[in-house]
Structure 1
Amino acid sequence: MLNTRRSRVRALGGVAMAAVVAGIGAVTFNASAATVASPAAPAPFGPEARSVKIPLIAEAIRPPAGSRPIGAYVVVNGTQNYTCVVPDGATVGAFTGKSTPEAQLLGTGGRIHHFAGPSWQSTRDQSLVTAGSPITSAREGTIPELRLTVLTHTGKGILDKADYINRLLTSGGVAPTTSCAKDEVKKVPYGAVYVFWDAPAV
């Protein structure tokens, strides 16, 4: 009888311990997921708007804590443009300089034109931002992901609250490795998702 009672106690203890372990595992999983999950992009609005999911963001290029996404856009047609650099005294050069973007983006606020600066301008309301101070996160075989700080704002509209911009889920856009002639330009197709963030006031 005593042995039977002890067995029941052990069994109940094992069940309780399993429940505790399972509970801890769930909490740990949820906490881990929260540290890597991206917030939802705002709902699309207006002509040509479309929903774009925000990809996972590498820790090194995340916007400041508390930042709110104000728009997410995907490249529908874009190139990274490289100009040949020829050293003094040489007859051939290489595409070693920085690229200039030329892209059309489509997303939650309609269309955005991305061009040299780098600059982004809404085709709906003409609001425009330029950005710099890039922080990079490498992706194999493609141009890196980025976080940029918005430097200037022009006009009122869907971009006027942007403080940071992420370039995520990049593909293509890598500089050619071939030799080239002076002033030769190569346009290399690329893809990416751009996310605009409104950072909390300090």
Structure 2
Amino acid sequence: MLNTKRSRVRALAGIGMAAVVAGIGTVTFNASAAETAPVAPAAVGADARAVSIPGIAAAIKPPKGSRPIGAYVVTDGTQNYTCVVAAGAATGGYTAGSTPEAQLVGTGGRIHHFGGPSWQSLRDKSLVTATKTAAVDKAGTIPELLLTINSHTGTGILGKADFISRLRTSGGVAPAGTCTAGQVVKVKYGAVYVFWDAPAAA
């Protein structure tokens, strides 16, 4: 049973990573020709910096010169919403922001994504938190984002990350309709997260 579950997770991760690298031009930010060459999916595990990244809208691109240091796909994730009820009202709506709870798999192993928002490597326990810098709305799904990392714990896989892109989103949208105080709804979602090492300020 355990081996079957692990096989399924690896298969999902492979599909997600293939989506990151398959047939899409590499995102480049003042990179050399050697750095912009597409890479075969088999090379992803060997060198995270060589991952080809999905097309990124101009509004959410990381700074020029940024290098990807890891790409991860959500294998099991929800956006969790708590009902907001105005004072004196009997019912409310899921109008506040969501809290993520997700497991990611990618170039650096497994990452736990949770409230903060925070990302923690399960391999070396390095941890980052971030704030939203820019967003691009998408119909029927949560938006794609650029997030700026504002704190680091540890010096492992995530130690050099400065920005995070949330790309290829699906699902995760808050339900419509009314709810009562204290109700929490968990909405499944998918995404690819890319961690970037930005150039030092001049």
User: So what's the TM-score if we normalise by structure 1?
Assistant: 0.77
Aligned to 1:44: 45
Aligned to 1:13: none
Deviation at 1:139, TM superposition (A): 1.0
Structure 2 CA distance, aligned partners of 1:177 and 1:158? Answer: 39
Shift of 1:53: 4.9
Secondary structure at 1:72 match in 2: strand
Instruction: Give the C-alpha shift of residue 52 in structure 1.
Output: 6.8
Please name the residue that 2:131 is paired with. 132
Q: Secondary structure at the match of 1:60?
A: helix
Does residue 1:173 correspond to 2:162, yes or no? Answer: no
Distance of aligned partners of 1:151 and 1:113 in 2 relative to their CA distance in 1, 3 Å threshold: same
1:59-106 Cα shifts (integer Å, max 9, x gaps): 000000000000000000000000000000000110000000000000
Q: Is the 8 A contact 1:52 1:73 kept in 2?
A: no
Q: How does 1:67-78 map to 2 (within 5 A)?
A: 67-78=66-77
- Offset at residue 134 of structure 1 (A): 2.9
List, as ranges, runs of 4+ consecutive aligned residues in structure 1 with deviation greater than 6 Å: none
Q: State the match for 2:102 in structure 1.
A: 103
Q: Distance in 2 between matches of 1:92 and 1:52?
A: 47
Q: In the alignment, is the contact (CA less than 8 A) between 1:167 and 1:192 conserved in 2?
A: yes
Equivalenced residues, count: 164
Larger Cα-atom Rg: 1
State the distance in 1 between where 2:116 and 2:46 align.
27
Deviation at 1:178, TM superposition (A): 2.0
Alignment root-mean-square deviation, CA: 2.1
Matched letter for residue 198 of structure 1: D
Cα shift readout 1:88-143 (whole Å, capped 9, x = no counterpart): 00001100000000000000000000000000000000000000033101111100
Q: State the identity as a percent.
A: 64
Query: Structure 2 regions of 5+ residues with no counterpart?
Result: 1-24, 29-37
Q: Deviations over 1:151-199 (max 9, x none)?
A: 0000110000000000001000000002111010000000000000000
**Aligned counterpart, 2:87:** 88
The 3 A distance-change label for structure 1 pair 90 and 52 is farther
Normalised by the length of structure 2, the TM-score is 0.77
Amino acid at match of 2:200: A
Q: 1:52–1:83: structure 2 CA closer, same or farther, 3 Å change rule?
A: farther
- CA distance in 2: counterparts of 1:127 and 1:95, whole angstroms: 32
Q: Which runs of 5+ in 1 are unaligned?
A: 1-35
**Cα distance change of structure 1 residues 52 and 102 upon mapping to structure 2, 3 Å threshold:** farther
State the shift of 1:54 in Å.
Answer: 2.0
Alignment correspondent of 1:163:
162
Q: What one-letter code is carried by the residue in structure 2 that aligns with 1:38?
A: V
Secondary structure, counterpart of 1:44 in structure 2: coil
Partners in 1 of 2:58 and 2:51 — Cα distance?
A: 21
User: Helix, strand or coil: the match of 2:142?
Assistant: coil
